[in-house]
Structure 1
């Protein structure tokens, strides 16, 4: 399944909660997308998330339903390791 990176920009500092994550995961299940993990920027106003999904549109639908921004959605290709070796992203 394709892997996507999503950049989310928030107007205020973002404070994640367990309840919020559970709600997002329920919506994701319905849209058939899987949240792998996220990074929170030091200023707490952006997140960078990795997702598995059939399409960028499925991610945008899930984000809209969850009330989350999805400012940039990029399908990822090969992974480059610190050794310089390229590894194909699993499909």
Structure 2
């Protein structure tokens, strides 16, 4: 399955509580993603929480856009990526 890097901008910052409410919200995202065969692998957030960079496995960029819309998440850019492991060459 193709892997993608999704760049998102949160003008007011990404506000996700570190409690049961946040866990429930993330669980909903995972569930809605699964409906389209999209798997959220990992995310990185800028220190000011205005940008996120997310790794997803997905059948297509369109599936990512569709699930992002269902999850009320912005999408600035989707780039197909592959792993480059620096230890592979040793």
TM-score, normalised with respect to structure 1: 0.84
SS in 2 for 1:63: helix
The answer to whether 1:73 aligns with 2:78 is yes
Pairs aligned (count): 84
Tell me what 2:62 maps to: 57
State the distance in 1 between where 2:23 and 2:35 align: 19
State the distance in 1 between where 2:35 and 2:84 align: 32
Larger RCO, structure (CA 8 Å, separation 6 or more) = 2
Q: How does 1:5-84 map to 2 (within 5 A)?
A: 5-16=5-16, 17-77=22-82, 79-83=83-87
SS in 2 for 1:28: helix
What 5-or-longer segments of structure 1 have no aligned partner? 86-91
**RMSD of aligned residue pairs (Cα, Å):** 1.4
What 5-or-longer segments of structure 2 have no aligned partner? 17-21
Instruction: Return the offset for 1:12.
Output: 0.6
